[in-house]
Chains A and B, each alone.
Chain A
Amino acid sequence: MRKQVPFLIATVMGIAMVAQFFIPTHGLVQMQSVVLLYGRIIGAFALVLGVASLIRINWIRAKRKGEGWTYAAVTIIGFVAMFLAGSLGGFFIAPEEPAETAAVTSESAPAEAAVEPAATPPQKSYDFGAGLDMTKNRVFAWMFDYIYTPMDATIFALLAFYVASAAYRAMRARDLTAGLLLGAAIIVMLGRAPLTSYYWDQLISQHVKFIPSLGDVTEWLMEYPNTAAKRGVYFGVGLAALGQSIRILVGLERPYMAGTGD
């Protein structure tokens, strides 16, 4: 039973999800949204496990004071600081003043205007979850905007240097294919850079008829050989994903049981 029941659940749900793709009836669409909702609920519970794992591992590392223990300590401090800012920072939210009240309290407003807004029936608001809006939590927003975002952008910016070093290794013309790669890369790089593309067109393409615009050559490379290669990968991925799905549906592979079905 320990093996059959999970297999049965996986197979039935898998086939139902495939069926939903082709059968757009309301019931199946609703079933799909309910299943996705369950997934989110499970994810919320699993997040607690994840956070517990994060804290425990870093706490042990910081406590033992082994190599790199300061990173673990910074992780815990960062987690606690953001948690407190997110959960307690709501106290620092300034209450929003309604426009009607502002008009009434204005000294220049006539006396009868004070009565008018009160007569307006209250409008129903569909702004769900406004009380949890972190952008209004100034402490949390400040930490997010001025600590987290710059650090995130810093790591992203490192990519420029990694691309340069990887490109240097890839573009050594060791054989024919590497030479082709090098040639295509140079054309695309120059064609995508505004400066070189502009001067190529101005100085060469416009004067020599048989030499095409650098932008056109770049577009051709991206549109045809590049797209053809990508579609080849698509076909392979699509069929392989189908094969993997069939292996799971018929129980040849059972990743949900931490095994391969044998």
Chain B
Amino acid sequence: MRFLKGRGAYVVGGVVVALLWCATAALGQTEPPAATESEEAAEAEAPYPQFPMPEDPGLRPPQDVEIVDFPDDEGNCLLLNWEPSPDDSAPARPREFFDLKRGEFRFMSAAHKQQRREEWDAAAAEANKRERSGYVIRRKPTSQAEFLWEPNGETGPVFSPVIILPGFRQYQDNDFQFLVPIGEDSVLRGESPPTPEELLEMREEQSLLDPRLTRWDYEIRYFEDGRMSEPVVMANTGPRGNYYNRKWTNVLLMGLVSSILIISFIFSARSGRELYVRPVAGLQAVDDAVGRATEMGRPILFSAGFAGVDNISTIAAMVILGRIARIAAQHGTKIIVPCLDPVVMTALREVVREAYVSVGRPEDYEEDRIFYLTGAQFAYAAGMAGIMVREKTAANFYMGYYYAESLILAETGFMAGSIQIVGTDSYTQLPFFIVACDYTLMGEEFFGASAYLSREPKLLGSLKGQDYSKLLIAVFMTAAILVATVAGLAGADGIAEWTQQLFQYASS
């Protein structure tokens, strides 16, 4: 048993853990449920509808067909609504995108999506039982003489017929940009739709029909058991661009209220009113960090993050760099700024040069201290780590947006003995920075850093406005939670749903 001492014990322990791991994996492994034979047979036997089918006057088409422009968009989507054909015995499904009667959007929650999937599966199973019934929709430019089932390069563009399962009463046609070649022999729908740049290029070559400049005809039929009804034709229609996106009304209102608060506090500060802003330890440490670097005769390292110059984090980092560079220029401390983006590099050079000029030391400015390191994430981290170790930087500032490389930077700086101050709005990296760095400016503190550092009343006024906006949001949220809870308990689901929709953010 002597081998169980020392290194042998680790080896045996490692083998035991590995065996346990394998056993767990073997026990925990579950096979995906195999499709039953009857399901497979049903799938194989169910004929996929082949169009055109023979027309059957006895089969009734869908009722009350209407086409409306899809609201709140650029003008590339139409909405077809109809009532089911009297011959469609499938249960009617709710219209999910836009309810014309209620005139509002029905936002999809996760539960709603799950319900939607289940409904879709049920409808597909129903259609299979009835040998694929449903609705078929076709579209053509009004200028084209007739609807076509098959591609025909000489006659005009052809759009693949769309098949809708029985019971459904709505179709959202936003395929305009994917199937629009003119004079070509087929549609462009494929594995990889063209990128926006390619679309722009094709549009410039006039090989695309612009949906906003083109009028369209639609036809819709009900089909069942290899027969189809007569068509209902909706002629000369088209989408149009909208002048206001109603989905973001709540964002607009809150933005306006916050902006008014911020601007009013800026004016209030300009009129000479004293404003108290709580002290932030990380910002008070900026002067100390630069002073430490001066005393030690070592440089300062500044990183503006991993975002481009169009990102608000990078802009905030630029403003802070201006302040730090001024202090460094006054003390005669060297500042090193390795950059990830050449555009950011160019902007930061201007910021630092301006800082040196503003304190009357333009001759001390060295352009090569702000340089392009690399555009690759981990190569940048490696390069920064090398600079910290070789140059023995006394103070490291990480300002901007960061990703997984954050801990490589922060831990290397910690091991090199640098004082480290971070400012970021990257909440996923905040824990790493908090652990490894001396001071961390979280989110709003980072954006407010320039105001804190300058102590200018006008800038401090904007911070005060932000604080009051936050208070307003907190009060509003608490009230809404109370209303929604009481309404839910009292059975007033309409009020509860409305309260929830106040906070709904539509991403597109």
- Chain A positions within 8 Å of B, measured between CB atoms, are 21-27, 29, 33, 39, 42-43, 46-51, 53-54, 56-57, 60, 67-68, 71, 124, 126, 128, 151-152, 155-156, 158-159, 162-163, 165-167, 169-170, 194-195, 198-199, 230, 233-237, 239-248, 250, 252-253, 255-260, 262
Contact = CB atoms under 8 A, between A and B. Distances in A.
Nearest to A66: B390
User: DSSP majority for the B interface?
Assistant: helix
Q: Which of A159, A170, A237, A258 has the most CB of B within 10 A?
A: A258
B358 to A, nearest CB: 8
Contact of B444 (A48, A60, A167, A237): A237
Given A194-B24, A241-B447, A255-B322, A236 B379 contact: no
Contacts of A245: 312
B219 to A, nearest CB: 27
A125 B112 CA distance: 41
A54 B252 CA distance: 44
A82 to B, nearest CB: 11
Given A22-B248, A33-B200, A239 B470 contact: yes
A46 B342 contact: yes
Contacts of B425: 233, 237, 240-241
A155 B184 contact: no
Interface in B470-496: 470, 473
Nearest to B325: A258
Given A126-B198, A162-B411, A234-B427, A243 B339 contact: no
Nearest to B474: A235
B378 A54 contact: no
A24 B241 contact: yes
A56 B353 CA distance: 19
Contacts of A22: 244-245, 248, 252
Contact of A242 (B258, B358, B368, B427): B258
Contacts of B393: none
A253 B319 contact: yes
A239 B464 CA distance: 11
A194 B254 CA distance: 44
A50 B407 contact: no
Contact of A23 (B188, B244, B266, B378): B244
Given A53-B345, A242-B255, A246-B462, A252 B266 contact: yes
A199 B25 CA distance: 12
B259 A246 contact: yes
A246 B470 contact: no
A43 to B, nearest CB: 5
B416 to A, nearest CB: 13
B126 interface: no
A235 to B, nearest CB: 6
30 contacts: A22-B252, A23-B243, A24-B72, A25-B242, A27-B241, A46-B342, A48-B342, A49-B372, A50-B345, A53-B372, A54-B373, A57-B368, A60-B368, A124-B184, A126-B194, A159-B404, A162-B411, A163-B432, A169-B436, A198-B28, A233-B430, A233-B443, A237-B427, A237-B444, A241-B312, A242-B255, A250-B263, A258-B322, A260-B322, A262-B456
Q: Which 9 A-B pairs have the closest CB atoms?
A: A50-B342, A240-B447, A50-B372, A258-B354, A236-B444, A240-B444, A46-B342, A155-B378, A258-B350
Contacts of B382: 155
A126 to B, nearest CB: 6
A138 B443 CA distance: 45
Given A24-B74, A54-B372, A240-B448, A235 B466 contact: no
A259 B354 contact: yes
A247 B459 contact: yes
A58 to B, nearest CB: 9
Nearest to A17: B310
- Most B Cβ at <10 Å: residue of A67, A155, A198, A262: A155
Contact of B346 (A25, A49, A242): A49
Interface string B188-206: 1000001010101100000
A243 B466 contact: yes
B343 A42 contact: yes
A194 B24 CA distance: 8
Contact of B198 (A25, A128, A230): A128
B198 to A, nearest CB: 6
